[in-house]
Amino acid sequence: MVRLALIIVLTVVLATVTVLAGLIDPHGKIVYPINKIWTWAILFAGGVKLHVTGLEKLDAQRPYVFMVNHQSNIDIPILVKSLPDFQLRWIAKRELLWVPFFGWALWAGKHITVDRNRPSAAVKSLRRAKERIAAGISVVVFPEGTRSRDGALQRFKKGGFLLAIETQTDVVPVTIVGSRNLLPSGAWRLRSGAVEVIIDQPIAIAGWRPGNLRLLMNQVRATIAARLHPAATVSGTEEAAPPLFRQHILAHQHTA
């Protein structure tokens, strides 16, 4: 209860500051450092420890479209802490704007929301995403569209991949292992524990066209699936995390 109370207090205070700063911040660049403090504090208060591999593959001076598997609401703070040198904006469903504090901070941080009930609104969302990338900001996409309830990797949606091709922004597959154990879909109580974040080599988008969008989607999905299930990868292709750490994460996945 003490941990939950601390997280609630941090959320109320820092979300309020975020909203106020967002009133004068066209791209959310002033707001984002506040978000970093907020998310890092939540992970610390919740006892969440991260093991991140692959950061050396990225150029912190350029934006990317990060494609990430999605198993928990805690995935967002995990990504903020795992990618400390990047300004990140999320593509999220519009309904989240009505969530107290979190939704208000989503608006203030100039994240990109999508109205799933109005396909015509997708053009406007795509334009906002392009503006963020042009401003040097990276975009995070959960290509499954929603959290996985059973831990299995779901079918990918094409919107984020189309954004990458139209803006000629390199795509980075990112795999989160273990977050579902700490905060499953539908749960409110954050458990302490360890999470692994694996950053793969950026995929150069130059030369890709909307006509071969499916090939790009399949390549990214196969990469993330292999990281989630390393035993199924071909020998010599897996850049494994320290064996004991990986075994600890996977053991908890199978018992969750």
Question: Would you say 177 and 211 are in contact if contact means Cβ atoms under 8 Å apart?
Answer: no
Q: Which of 74-83, 96-105, 112-121 has the lowest mean pLDDT?
A: 112-121
- The residue extents of the domains of the chain are 2-255
Do β-strands 193-199 and 171-177 pair in parallel, antiparallel, or remain unpaired?
antiparallel
Owner of token pair 């959960």 = 142
Give, for 146, the enclosing helix (H) or strand (E): none
Do β-strands 138-141 and 65-68 pair in parallel, antiparallel, or remain unpaired?
parallel
**What is the distance, to the nearest Å, from the Cα of residue 252 to the centroid of all Cα atoms in its chain?**
21
- Pairwise CA distance, residues 186 & 190, whole Å: 11
Mean pLDDT of 125-141: 89
CATH code: domain 2-255 is 3.40.1130.10
At residue 239 the predicted structure's pLDDT band, cuts being 50, 70 and 90, is very low
11 pLDDT above the threshold of 80: no
pLDDT recorded at residue 41: 86
Question: Would you say 179 and 79 are in contact if contact means Cβ atoms under 8 Å apart?
Answer: no
Spell out the residues 6+ positions from residue 93 whose beta carbon is closer than 8 angstroms to its own. 113, 114, 116, 146
247 pLDDT above the threshold of 70: no
pLDDT recorded at residue 216: 95
% pLDDT > 90, the chain: 43
Question: Would you say 67 and 173 are in contact if contact means Cβ atoms under 8 Å apart?
Answer: yes
% helix, strand, coil for the chain, step of 5: 50, 15, 35
Q: Which of 31-35, 65-69, 90-94, 223-227 has the lowest mean pLDDT?
A: 90-94
At residue 61 the predicted structure's pLDDT band, cuts being 50, 70 and 90, is very high
Buried b (16+ CB within 10 A) or exposed e, 151-167: bebbebeebbbbbbbeb
% pLDDT > 70, the chain: 86
pLDDT recorded at residue 245: 55
At residue 246 the predicted structure's pLDDT band, cuts being 50, 70 and 90, is low
Query: For the chain, how many residues are written?
Result: 256
35 pLDDT above the threshold of 90: no
At residue 62 the predicted structure's pLDDT band, cuts being 50, 70 and 90, is very high
